[in-house]
Every structure is written in structure tokens, then in C-alpha cells.
Amino acid sequence: MKTPATTAKPKATTTAQTDISKACSAQADAKGLHGKERSKFRAQCKKSGGKM
């Protein structure tokens, strides 16, 4: 019997991703972005590692 493959990421990676996401959200809040503009900004921000 085969065991199912796990897709869980290591906790350190998840924590880093969460920190980046929070930083991008805070920056979007500071700029007063909403809707599509906010989503677009956050996507670009997360790709750059939270530095925009």
C-alpha cells in the first residue's frame, strides 16, 4: 500500500510567505488601494519579496 504524497510546505517557508503577504497588505493599505488595483499591487509586491 502506497502512502499519499504530502504537499505541506515547511513551516519556515510558510511563515516567510505570510510575512511577505502581510507586508504587502500593509503597503496597499497605506496607499489606500482597493479592488483590482489592490490585487494587482499585492501580486507584484509578493513577486518582489514584499519590497515595493
Task: Note the pLDDT of residue 2.
Answer: 63
Q: Where are the domains of the chain?
A: 16-47
How far apart (Å, rounded) are the C-alpha atoms in residues 30 and 20? 15
Task: Note the pLDDT of residue 50.
Answer: 86
| Residue 44 and residue 21 in contact, taking contact as beta carbons nearer than 8 Å | no
Tens-place pLDDT, residues 4-46: 666 665 666 788 999 999 999 999 999 999 999 999 999 999 9
- For 20, how many CA atoms within 13 A lie in the half-sphere containing its CB? 18
